[in-house]
Structure 1
Amino acid sequence: MKKIITITVISFITIITVMQTNAVFAQQPAQSQRWVCLDAKWCNDQNSGCSKRDAHRAKLSVKQDVKPLANSDSYVIECLATQGGQICTTGNRDTDRRVYGVDTTGKTNVEKLSSVVQYRFEGIFQSDGTALAPNPSRSNNAGIIGPFEWQSYTPSTISRKFIALNYFTQNNVTGSEGGQQQGTFSFENASRTCVAINWDPYGRVFDSQTLEPIPDSIVTLLQKRQDDSFSRVIADDILGGNIENPQTTKENGAFSYVVPDNIYRITVSKSEYIFPNVLTKLNPAYSRIYSDIYRGEEIIQQGRIQHRDIPLDHVGSGKTYPMVINYFYETDKVGKGIIEGQSSHPFVLIKAYSVKVNSSVGQAEPSRTRYRLLKTINADKNGSFKIEINQSNFESNEVFGEIEVQKTDLLTQSSVSQNFFEKILSPVQAAETTTLKFEPIPTYIEGFTYVSGQVMPSTKVGVYLTFSEKPYYETQSDEKGYFKISSENLPTMPYKLRYGLAGFQTTVSTSKFIAQNAKYIGSNNIKVNTFQDINGKTQITSSPSPKKSLFPTSTVNKNYSNDQKNKDSQQYNANPSSVPQSGMLLILLIILVLLGGAAFLLGFYLYNKNRMPPQMM
């Protein structure tokens, strides 16, 4: 009897403790992130207003339309496009740990960037370009910080965006449908897609005949010495020692050297290629893509950085494949998805597709089915592209999900397709396309906290950027497991959800959230891709005007009506691996030949059988 009483008392105390812990969590205000874009100008431009001309610097200032919070600590952050999407950093390991945490290997974001793109942060300076600036910096009464000059280095050309980040304290507010919708700060509704600084490459190595970029070429910069000889440029030749020499070109064939005024030469080596190129072997179509052709002559560097493209003559055989080498992926908050990046090849054909997320309340990642073609564009001659998708008219379980990158024939300006035999007999070697898949970025969240197929009540919900281990925003589901997060409190960059209860935590991708709540979202006509503020007010993006194509004969830019959408959906579902009409005719011809051959063999067999003597039958 005493044991029963003791166990009952301990259980009662435990329940009270858990209730008090949850009550404390509900009462304590949480810190959420708010960020705005900074205006950035490349200091290598003559009119940048920088303290000095420097290809590794950017001048940063506050935009007048959307500013940081007044009288607040504001972190200045650089976001870089990588092959896996954007990664943001304060440039400092300790500050990154405070803002973003560390990944499962213990690395901060600046350390990840150092590993992925050989990133090196070199300082954030006051407007005079020499005195170091604190990060974070305190904004004034008008929300102004800076201007600053940010300096960082990567050996290859990478797009950058700059933001200012503030923290604000949430106030718990109970929503009308249950669940805590935290945060009463009045957010701006303006689009928060920042403009990227694209630091152009200072040269590319390419095939003199196919005009395709050559990866894995070894490019070495040589400097003229006092005795008129040339030798490799080393760190001691550069103020600050910031140089990687030689450089190995990536998939786009690009190389980049920022050096002081002097006289230089470049050498290039690559197996099965010859440098310098023979003038008569250079395809005349090169001028559509490349300029300042280099064949080994002296380069006089004076003032603005010199640009050189280097053709190599091919003496072997081979094929390169298109890919996206870096990109930013975000939304504009009001229904538009934006992918801005760089492909390995010039003028690639890029197709954007939506996918259907199949309903599932389980823990496994949901299956996704390619649904319909949304838009087709071409990259420019540098491989740069920007594709914008209007998601406001998507169906309830339809999200943006894939882009397909297809190589074009740089000599004829047409897309490179495979014939029937290439597809059937050699699908790997003949592949001319690559596919990149994306998680959706919902601009509005409403549903239930599913864990292991069951709805979990009173559960902590956190929004985490994909490159961060610190919450961007936090709330809590109600006693029914219901919660919602309005658009003001969601990031424009890719994120994930985390549910936590009594020491337990599980990560939920945005696809999984949509799959788990598919029935609720569909029956309540919830628009996860439409801006909806805390008061239920919505805002929808306007449809973009069709843009002129680089290749009008091969580029499509459709604004879909519902009828057209249904038609395209039915057409795609009926024939998901569509084959060109000529391919279909070829297939029919082959089938007819095979049937004719079979009929001939059968007839020949029956004829011989009838002629055989009875004793042999």
Structure 2
Amino acid sequence: MKTIKQAFVLGFVLSSLLFGGFVHAQEIPLKYVCLKSTHCYGATQSECIYGTPHGHTAKLEEEGALPTGSVFVGVCVSYIGGTGKDLQTEQVCTTGSDEKDRELFKIATGELTPLNKLKGIGYEFKNFYESDGVTSADNPTIGRFQGPYYWEDFTPTGHLRNWRAFFRQDPNDEVQAGEILSQKLGTLPFDTLEKQCVKIAWDPYGRVFDSQTLEPISGMTVSLFVKKDSDFIAFNPFAPENQPNIIKKITGNDGQYNYVVPDNEYKLAANGMITTLDLIHPNFAQAYYDVYPVQTGDVIVQKGIAQHRDIAVMSQNTNTLSKPIDVFVEAVGQGHVVIEGVVSHPLSRIYANSAKISNSNGTVKTPYRTVGSTTADKLGRFKLDIDQNGFEQKNDYIELLTSITIVKVDLRTMQEVMTARTTVSFEPIPTYLKGIAYAANGTTPLPNTKVGVYLPYSNSPSSMVTSDSSGNFVIGSEKLPSMPYELRFTTPNGMVVKTKPSVFLAQNQTYMAENQINPYEEKKTDGAKIVVKKLSSSSSSVQVGQKSVGDTTQKSGWFGLGGGQNTSSATTRSGASVSPFVMMAVILVILISAVGAGIFLYMKQKNSSSTSRWE
């Protein structure tokens, strides 16, 4: 009997170690994927069953198969933190509910939720609708993602936003491309071509600008009058017949105002409003249009789509800085980063800057050089694609992308005003991490420590590994977010060290230079390079460190959901990985063998006992 017990104990121990370790070795990571978003307004209005007249609605659809289960839908918005010259970009995603934000991102009571943070810039969540545009949808969606859905919200200034689906992905449930898609959460094959999340900004309904300097004016009150019988009276936004509405009558840094009103006839008024075209500087058309009332007449007929009106006022000799409204930073693959945002002044010049950082002082970034530039459009929107493959890695420093500088352009002369500069800083987004986890002093290695990758506002990790006995760890591109993130080291005794990516790179600067580690390339955790071969008429391909001329491959919000980066069915990846189904088969064979051995020993001993009794 002792032998039989040992066999069954062995089987139990094996099953506990294999199944327990395989499934529950670490906290289930939080993953996200971009949703296809369509602005339900203007030219794309016809693509939506539902669309509000003010155009603050997006149609949301899945771009690939989403897992079956609990999927949260959230909007991601950027805003500017800090004061004076010390400005930083912040990017947060919200479900539109404090309660759901706490559940999704594991935010403790007393800590600000992403929604609360966005309320500081005047963000208002309106509703999340089913495909009929009338019924409020559940968030999270349960079961199969049954889009399209419609999302309605508001910001008083022209912030960009994009939408993502969030869910938890057990790394042991990942399925390789080509395997059968099962119907449970977390078994999603990832063979979609990578691309950047599409961003949308609600159009302004008007801007107030100085008729001579052509700069936007903040703090200006715009009054609205509605036709009643044969007269125009002051519009009362709180009257029952005018609800719901979106009102922003006092302009911000970008001079914007918004009135969302029922169909009718209206007039606008602002102090010092110009009524004849010859009183406006002739270059106004470089940035402004539908100027009220000199180009449009004084009666606005509102019917359906919201009307746009820019307003010129008597010159106040306005001379202000071009200020950031928002700045998105996103790693898009192949060593590239896209910086996208909105500034207050039309046609401003935007410069991307790098800095040097070293392990001698991991918090000091020494400005280095300009690595890209562009011009904002009439509405202040801009986009920069920065190639980091040529960034320097020396024995005494490493080059990082750290900021943008916004320079105002004088619309009268179309020349830059070099004295009017604003800088916005941000953290780099490494796409491959290999180095040593250090304590806060930057010199003491942290062995056997949990290394977590977190969105800065979240307490739910996007991925988790453990450092070895010397503090070394590796996190591949397939486990790193495309949005800004931070590292959190949790030692065996429970001490937590939060480390910014720039600090980690500084601490490991010498190590990476000596070992030729490129933090901007795309590599799997096992060290295999991620190679994307894109089929096209010219059979062009893109590899790490190279970008073909004319290539349009962009990165999507997919990450950490498979053996490597996301590709289309025409994409192959280097590096082999073991299918979890194969692993499960091996486990089952071992378990069956253990149980079979126990039964065999039991029958053998039983037969032996029977024989001995009758001899």
| TM-score normalised to structure 2 length | 0.74
1:194 offset after TM fit, Å? Answer: 0.5
Quick check: 1:292 aligned with 2:282?
A: no
For 1:521, what is the secondary structure of its paired residue? helix
Q: Distance in 2 between matches of 1:515 and 1:259?
A: 53
1:225 offset after TM fit, Å? Answer: 2.3
For 2:247, what is the secondary structure of its paired residue? coil
Quick check: 1:538 aligned with 2:530?
A: yes
Residue type of the alignment partner of 2:132: D
For 2:487, what is the secondary structure of its paired residue? strand
| 1:554-565 matches, cutoff 5 A | none
| 1:479-498 matches, cutoff 5 A | 479-498=469-488
* Residue 477 to residue 172, structure 1, CA distance change in 2 (3 Å): farther
* Residue 237 to residue 155, structure 1, CA distance change in 2 (3 Å): farther
Residue type of the alignment partner of 2:122: Q
Residue type of the alignment partner of 1:339: I
* Residue 475 to residue 79, structure 1, CA distance change in 2 (3 Å): same
Q: For the Cα contact (< 8 Å) 1:68–1:165, is it kept in 2? A: no
* Residue 459 to residue 24, structure 1, CA distance change in 2 (3 Å): farther
1:208 offset after TM fit, Å? Answer: 0.6
Q: For the Cα contact (< 8 Å) 1:68–1:139, is it kept in 2? A: no
| Correspondence for 2:444 | 454
Q: Distance in 1 between matches of 2:250 and 2:386?
A: 35
1:454 offset after TM fit, Å? Answer: 0.1
Q: For the Cα contact (< 8 Å) 2:158–2:325, is it kept in 1? A: no
| Correspondence for 2:136 | 132
Unaligned 5+ runs, structure 1: 1-19, 174-182, 418-430, 548-617
Cα deviations by residue, 1:515-551 (Å, 9 ceiling, x for unpaired)? 111111111111111111234223426548699xxxx
| 1:253-402 matches, cutoff 5 A | 253-269=255-271, 274-295=272-293, 297-314=298-315, 316-360=316-360, 365-396=362-393, 397-402=398-403
| Correspondence for 2:105 | 100
Q: For the Cα contact (< 8 Å) 2:22–2:172, is it kept in 1? A: no
* Residue 458 to residue 26, structure 1, CA distance change in 2 (3 Å): farther
Q: Distance in 2 between matches of 1:184 and 1:516?
A: 37
Q: Distance in 2 between matches of 1:395 and 1:499?
A: 27
Q: For the Cα contact (< 8 Å) 2:159–2:325, is it kept in 1? A: no
| Correspondence for 1:250 | 252
1:51 offset after TM fit, Å? Answer: 2.7
Q: Distance in 2 between matches of 1:545 and 1:517?
A: 33
1:334 offset after TM fit, Å? Answer: 2.7
* Residue 152 to residue 437, structure 1, CA distance change in 2 (3 Å): same
Q: Distance in 2 between matches of 1:281 and 1:343?
A: 27
* Residue 209 of structure 1, aligned match among 209, 212, 215: 212
* Residue 98 to residue 30, structure 1, CA distance change in 2 (3 Å): same
For 2:346, what is the secondary structure of its paired residue? coil
Q: For the Cα contact (< 8 Å) 2:273–2:313, is it kept in 1? A: yes
| Worse-superposed segment, 155-164 or 437-446 | 155-164
* Residue 92 to residue 78, structure 1, CA distance change in 2 (3 Å): same
| Correspondence for 1:3 | none
For 1:220, what is the secondary structure of its paired residue? strand
1:148 offset after TM fit, Å? Answer: 0.6
| Correspondence for 2:234 | 231
Quick check: 1:222 aligned with 2:225?
A: yes
1:52 offset after TM fit, Å? Answer: 4.2
Residue type of the alignment partner of 1:321: L
Q: Distance in 2 between matches of 1:134 and 1:367?
A: 46
1:27 offset after TM fit, Å? Answer: 5.6
Unaligned 5+ runs, structure 2: 1-16, 81-88, 175-185, 532-543, 552-615
| Correspondence for 2:49 | 50
1:67 offset after TM fit, Å? Answer: 3.5
Cα deviations by residue, 1:306-361 (Å, 9 ceiling, x for unpaired)? 110100112x444111121112111113311111101111111111121111224x
Quick check: 1:121 aligned with 2:143?
A: no
Q: For the Cα contact (< 8 Å) 1:464–1:496, is it kept in 2? A: yes
1:188 offset after TM fit, Å? Answer: 5.0
| Worse-superposed segment, 305-314 or 212-221 | 212-221
Quick check: 1:471 aligned with 2:468?
A: no
* Residue 477 to residue 192, structure 1, CA distance change in 2 (3 Å): farther
| Correspondence for 2:29 | 32
Q: For the Cα contact (< 8 Å) 1:100–1:468, is it kept in 2? A: yes
* Residue 52 to residue 323, structure 1, CA distance change in 2 (3 Å): closer
Q: For the Cα contact (< 8 Å) 2:206–2:310, is it kept in 1? A: yes
* Residue 149 to residue 377, structure 1, CA distance change in 2 (3 Å): same
| Correspondence for 1:524 | 515
Residue type of the alignment partner of 1:149: Y
1:26 offset after TM fit, Å? Answer: 11
1:112 offset after TM fit, Å? Answer: 1.5
Residue type of the alignment partner of 2:451: V
Residue type of the alignment partner of 1:170: P
| Correspondence for 1:513 | 504
1:186 offset after TM fit, Å? Answer: 6.2
For 1:287, what is the secondary structure of its paired residue? helix
For 2:512, what is the secondary structure of its paired residue? helix
1:458 offset after TM fit, Å? Answer: 0.4
1:229 offset after TM fit, Å? Answer: 3.2
Q: For the Cα contact (< 8 Å) 1:38–1:163, is it kept in 2? A: yes
1:168 offset after TM fit, Å? Answer: 1.0
Q: Distance in 1 between matches of 2:522 and 2:143?
A: 29
| Worse-superposed segment, 99-108 or 287-296 | 99-108
1:499 offset after TM fit, Å? Answer: 0.7
Q: For the Cα contact (< 8 Å) 2:66–2:188, is it kept in 1? A: no
Residue type of the alignment partner of 1:354: S
* Residue 24 to residue 171, structure 1, CA distance change in 2 (3 Å): closer
| Correspondence for 2:426 | 438
| Correspondence for 2:580 | none
| 1:544-555 matches, cutoff 5 A | none
Q: For the Cα contact (< 8 Å) 2:232–2:266, is it kept in 1? A: no
* Residue 27 to residue 302, structure 1, CA distance change in 2 (3 Å): closer
For 1:138, what is the secondary structure of its paired residue? coil
For 2:219, what is the secondary structure of its paired residue? coil
* Residue 95 of structure 2, aligned match among 65, 90, 93: 90
Residue type of the alignment partner of 1:258: V
Q: For the Cα contact (< 8 Å) 2:215–2:319, is it kept in 1? A: no
Cα deviations by residue, 1:252-306 (Å, 9 ceiling, x for unpaired)? 111222222111122224xxxx224543220111112111111482211112211
* Residue 76 to residue 492, structure 1, CA distance change in 2 (3 Å): same
1:86 offset after TM fit, Å? Answer: 2.3
Residue type of the alignment partner of 1:148: Y
Cα deviations by residue, 1:408-435 (Å, 9 ceiling, x for unpaired)? 1212222223xxxxxxxxxxxxx31111
Residue type of the alignment partner of 1:402: S
Cα deviations by residue, 1:70-100 (Å, 9 ceiling, x for unpaired)? x232111111232233221011111100112
Residue type of the alignment partner of 1:345: H
Q: Distance in 2 between matches of 1:93 and 1:537?
A: 40
Q: Distance in 1 between matches of 2:23 and 2:509?
A: 28
- Between the aligned residues of both structures, percent identity stands at 35
Q: Distance in 1 between matches of 2:548 and 2:354?
A: 18
Q: Distance in 2 between matches of 1:444 and 1:184?
A: 24
Q: For the Cα contact (< 8 Å) 1:357–1:367, is it kept in 2? A: yes
| Worse-superposed segment, 289-298 or 434-443 | 289-298
For 1:117, what is the secondary structure of its paired residue? coil
1:389 offset after TM fit, Å? Answer: 0.2
Q: Distance in 2 between matches of 1:294 and 1:411?
A: 20
Residue type of the alignment partner of 2:218: P
Cα deviations by residue, 1:188-212 (Å, 9 ceiling, x for unpaired)? 5743521111211111111111111
| TM-score normalised to structure 1 length | 0.74
For 1:538, what is the secondary structure of its paired residue? coil
Q: For the Cα contact (< 8 Å) 2:254–2:343, is it kept in 1? A: yes
Q: Distance in 1 between matches of 2:125 and 2:421?
A: 35
